Amino acid sequence: MAPVGIDVVEARISHLAYAPEIAGAMLRKQAASAVIAARRVITQGAVSIIDDALADLEARMGHQLEPQQRAAMISNLLVVLIGDREATPTVNTGL
């Protein structure tokens, strides 16, 4: 621009846009990262709750749960605490 007598002192980008397919992929990645972070917080909270619940239950019972009982309790509590839907109660009739 110097040949016509114009000096460019500063230039700024006022608008930056990605191609729609790139923008969509970036948004999906950002949303996935947010979901992972939220799941991590939920899981850490659930593990803490389960640990406290088992310790309290065993203290009240006065003895340790059997490993199989403990595993079943942990599994059931994880499903209820981490699941994204309401828990549906079921009764095991042994049939």
pLDDT for residue 44: 97
In sequence order, the 6+-apart residues with CB closer than 8 A to the CB of 53 are 77
Which alpha helices (DSSP H) does the chain contain, by range?
A: 20-61, 67-82
pLDDT for residue 5: 84
pLDDT for residue 77: 92
With a cut of 50, which residues of the chain have pLDDT below it? none
pLDDT for residue 72: 93
pLDDT for residue 84: 81
